[in-house]
Each structure stands twice: as C-alpha cells, then as structure tokens.
C-alpha cells in the first residue's frame, strides 16, 4: 500500500475533552513508586472517557495516593463509593488496584494548564461537586435518558470482602 505524504496530518491529532462530567471505564490500575522513594507508592489509574451520549471522549490518567490532606482523603473516599466498594476498617492501597479494572464510574474533568512547555491536559477535577460518582447516579447527573441509567439502578455498594469473593 502506498502512503500519500501530502495527505498526512501537519499537527498532532490530539485534543482534550471539554471540562465537564463523563462516564469513565477504569482501563488499568497499577501501583507505582514515585521518584521520591521516601513517599509511599501511589495508585495510577487510566480511564477511558465517554460523554453522556456514549461517544468516546478520550483517555485520562489519575492518581490516588495515601495522604494526610483532607481533600485527598475525601477524593479517596469518593472514589471508593464510586466503584461501589465499602471498606470496613483499614486496607492497603495495593488491594484497591486489584478491584478497579473494568469498573465504570462517572467523573468530573477539568483542563489543567501545561507547565514547562508541556501541553494542557485533562485531569480529574477535585474541586468540582463530588469528584467521582457511582454509575447508579447517571440519571441524576445526565438526566433520565442517560446511557446505563437502567442498569445503574441495580448498582449497589459492596464490601471489599464481597468483591474479593467474586474473583
């Protein structure tokens, strides 16, 4: 097959989603260690986004980390509620990595300005509303005609033991 050089794009075919609320499927969840080895590992998440009509809206990455900061602890709690897992007592972040892939949630997104020559990027908006939502809230967020809204009504929060038993 011949490649027509003149038909190749002149710029990167990349764009960020508009700020807003999206369906997100957790594609990958893995523990990573940052450059600063004195800090604990963090959970690195990759979301595939869809808009309220079900149209693909791109991919974003998110980090869930252990922190003493109230906002980060609130973010973690909202994430746990969104994926439908209710941990009782203490748990390890690495346990969460096993439970996340394939889960569907709803997430608030904003565009963060790039720094040091990097382009702007879409990130989870921790300052907007409730950050993450369980899929059962789809009709409340997107309206009665929301995709997955009928299935979402059956979504229930489970304990970590119930989820682990499903594996």
pLDDT digits (tens, 9 = 90+) for 92-149: 889 889 889 999 999 999 999 999 988 899 999 999 999 999 999 999 999 877 765 4
**pLDDT-derived band at 156, boundaries 50, 70, 90:** very low
Structure tokens at 102: 């394939």
Average pLDDT, the chain: 85
CA dihedral 120, 125, 128, 129 (to 10 degrees): 150
Could you tell me the end-to-end alpha-carbon distance of the chain, in angstroms, rounded to an integer?
Answer: 46
pLDDT at 154 over 60: no
Q: Which helix (H) or strand (E) holds 82?
A: helix 70-83
Distance of CA 165 to the CA centre of its chain: 24
Q: What is the CA radius of gyration of the chain?
A: 18
Percent of the chain past pLDDT 70, that is, above it, reads 86
Of 53, 42, 62, 55, the residue nearest 103 (C-alpha): 62
Looking from the CA of 60 toward its CB, the CA atoms found within 13 Å total: 27
Mean pLDDT throughout 76-81? 94
pLDDT at 152 over 90: no
- Give the pLDDT of residue 91: 82
- Give the pLDDT of residue 155: 44
């Amino acid at each position: 097959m011949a490649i027509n050089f003149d038909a190749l794009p002149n710029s990167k075919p990349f764009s960020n989603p508009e700020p807003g609320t999206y369906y997100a499927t957790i594609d990958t969840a893995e523990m990573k260690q940052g450059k600063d080895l004195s800090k604990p590992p963090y959970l690195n998440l990759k979301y595939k986004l869809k808009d309220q009509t079900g149209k693909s809206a791109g991919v974003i990455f998110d980090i869930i980390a252990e922190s003493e900061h109230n906002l980060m602890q609130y973010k973690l709690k909202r994430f746990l509620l969104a994926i439908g897992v209710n941990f009782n007592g203490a748990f390890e972040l690495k346990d969460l990595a096993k439970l996340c892939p394939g889960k569907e949630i709803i997430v608030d997104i904003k565009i963060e300005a790039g720094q040091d020559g990097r382009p702007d990027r879409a990130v989870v908006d921790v300052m907007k509303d409730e950050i993450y939502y369980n899929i059962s809230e789809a009709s409340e967020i997107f309206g009665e005609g929301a995709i997955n809204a009928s299935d979402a009504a059956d979504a229930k929060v489970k304990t970590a033991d119930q989820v682990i038993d499903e594996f």
